[in-house]
């Protein structure tokens, strides 16, 4: 394997197959755990094989029931394709005795509905509880230009073109040679190191020998295939039994309060206090409550992740996943907007902006935390709010100036 200077994640479509366990073992022998995007009709045929992958630490995603082109479906037909497969995946996880960590979806043929249906399908996926994969470090300009960084469905940065093996094994040398090309802005950037991290796409049905040869070739590239640790972290509502682990974490990272006050908070706002767990390890928390000023709003009061860089999930997008989980909880309870105050920290402000929050207010405070001034930015644009924030700091001689952010959960 070449010097590992880029992180990569392997995604494999059209699973499971009759020889699925053999393919899972082949990946495990190479230290690779994949995300397998499954067809419902194949899950019905090979449920035990799929459960085997789950027990081995791989992740199953939804790839529709029978691989239609979604641009040709109505929204009702799309929903049926997805829901039918969701029920099967949930059953596989129950069969495996493993909590399902995340709901991921990839369109067959990468057909996201096109201009006419894309927005409707994205809203459908979001409303069904699917999450963006949130792979960190994807920096290709074309990736952002095409909007993949904002979409719910899982795209790829490198398509192995292994689907062309339908034409016969004679095309395999061309596929292997293509991996050596250097066209990073045309989806062929495996060799650009340092450079963008990679999401690689293969297919589960290709001949096994070709499967092995493609994997071997990928492992000669400057890639370090990582398990999707950030997706294996499970997010759930906190309950009072979590006092011993969650309360100390909140007091360390966010606000201090007594155990009695914490228990009252959890009881009063059930479902709006969430925690992310990696096994028994607490990876992060987020909590809030209904706004005291608006009936249609919720206040996000705190979000924090475990900052121990030695943890395998450190800096793997757990904060964004917690934020999305909180947004879903708010949407389910009928809240139409979420409001939160940011720390006086450009990094925290960038985190909220990258997750779709916009500045709607600025507050200046003195060293004792007393409010000195409050105003609404003239524009929602980041540059305008930032400039006015610093101006207000100078005008009031504030110890800190905070941006108030708002988002309308989809």
What is the rounded distance in angstroms from the CA atom of residue 362 to the CA atom of residue 101? Answer: 37
CA dihedral of residues 391, 394, 398, 399 (deg, nearest 10): 100
DSSP tag of 160: -
At residue 171, the pLDDT reads: 94
**Are 63 and 106 spatial neighbours (Cβ–Cβ below 8 Å)?**
yes
Contact 355, 150 (CB under 8 A): no
Over its C-alpha atoms, the chain yields an Rg (Å, rounded) of 23
Helix axes 346-354, 318-332, angle to 10 degrees: 50
pLDDT score of 230: 65
Mean pLDDT split into 10-residue runs, the chain, 410 residues: 75 97 97 96 98 95 98 97 98 92 94 95 90 86 91 96 93 96 93 92 97 96 84 86 95 95 93 90 94 92 88 74 89 93 89 88 93 81 80 93 89
Can you read off the two tokens belonging to residue 354?
Answer: 């990258």
Residue 280's contacts (CB-CB under 8 Å, 6 or more residues apart) are none
Rounded CA gap, 96 and 108, in Å? 26
Partners of 23 in beta bridges: none
Q: Does this model's pTM top 0.85?
A: no
Q: How many CB atoms lie within 10 A of CB 196?
A: 20
Q: Rounded to whole angstroms, how far apart are CA atoms 72 and 59? A: 28
88/43 Cα distance (integer angstroms): 7
H or E, element range at 236: strand 234-237
Are 387 and 378 in contact by the 8 Å Cβ rule? The answer is no
Measured CA to CA in angstroms, residue 356 lies from 272, 304, 410 at distances of 19, 18, 11
Q: Which domains does the chain have, with CATH numbers?
A: 6-230 (3.20.20.370), 233-407 (3.40.630.30)
Of residues 86, 96, 2, 3, the one with CA closest to residue 58: 96
Taken in order 136, 142, 143, 145, the sign of the CA dihedral is positive
Tokens of 201: 């796409």
DSSP string, 54-120: HHTT-EEEE--SS---GGGS-HHHHHHHHHHHHHHHHHHHHHHT-------B--GGG---HHHHHHH
């Amino acid at each position: 394997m070449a010097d590992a200077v880029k992180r990569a994640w392997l995604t494999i479509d059209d699973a499971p197959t009759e020889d699925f366990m053999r393919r899972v073992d082949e990946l495990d022998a190479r230290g690779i755990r994949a995300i397998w995007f499954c067809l419902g009709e194949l899950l019905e045929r090979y449920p035990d094989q799929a459960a085997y992958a789950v027990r081995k630490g791989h992740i199953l995603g939804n790839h529709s029931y029978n691989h239609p082109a979604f641009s040709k479906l109505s929204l009702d037909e799309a929903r049926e394709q997805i829901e039918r497969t969701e029920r099967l995946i949930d059953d596989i996880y129950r069969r495996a005795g493993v909590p399902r960590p995340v709901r991921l979806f990839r369109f067959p043929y990468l057909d996201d509905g096109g201009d006419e249906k894309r927005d409707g399908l994205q809203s459908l996926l979001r409303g069904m509880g699917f999450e963006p994969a949130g792979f960190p470090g994807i920096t290709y300009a074309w990736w952002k230009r095409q909007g993949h960084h904002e979409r719910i469905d899982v795209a790829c940065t490198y398509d192995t073109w292994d689907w062309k093996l339908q034409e016969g094994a004679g095309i395999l040398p061309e596929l292997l040679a293509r991996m050596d090309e250097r066209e990073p802005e045309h989806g062929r950037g495996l060799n650009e190191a340092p450079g963008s991290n990679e999401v690689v796409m293969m297919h589960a049905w290709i001949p096994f020998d070709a499967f092995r040869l493609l994997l071997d070739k990928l492992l000669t590239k400057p890639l370090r295939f990582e398990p999707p640790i950030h997706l294996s972290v499970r997010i759930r509502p906190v309950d009072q039994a979590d006092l011993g682990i969650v309360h100390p974490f909140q007091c360390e990272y966010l606000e201090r309060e007594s155990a009695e006050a914490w228990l009252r908070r959890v009881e009063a706002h059930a479902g709006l206090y969430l925690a992310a767990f990696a096994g028994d390890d607490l990876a992060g928390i987020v909590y809030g409550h209904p706004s005291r000023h608006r009936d249609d709003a919720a206040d996000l009061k705190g979000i924090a992740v475990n900052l121990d860089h030695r943890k395998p999930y450190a800096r793997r997008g757990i904060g964004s996943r917690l934020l999305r989980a909180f947004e879903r909880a708010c949407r389910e309870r009928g809240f139409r907007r979420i409001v939160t105050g940011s720390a006086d920290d450009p990094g925290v402000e960038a985190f909220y902006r990258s997750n779709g929050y916009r500045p709607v207010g600025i507050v200046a405070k003195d060293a004792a935390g007393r409010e000195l001034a409050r105003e609404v930015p003239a524009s929602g644009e980041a540059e305008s709010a930032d400039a006015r924030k610093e101006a207000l700091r100078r005008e009031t001689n504030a110890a800190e100036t905070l941006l108030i952010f708002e988002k309308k959960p989809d």
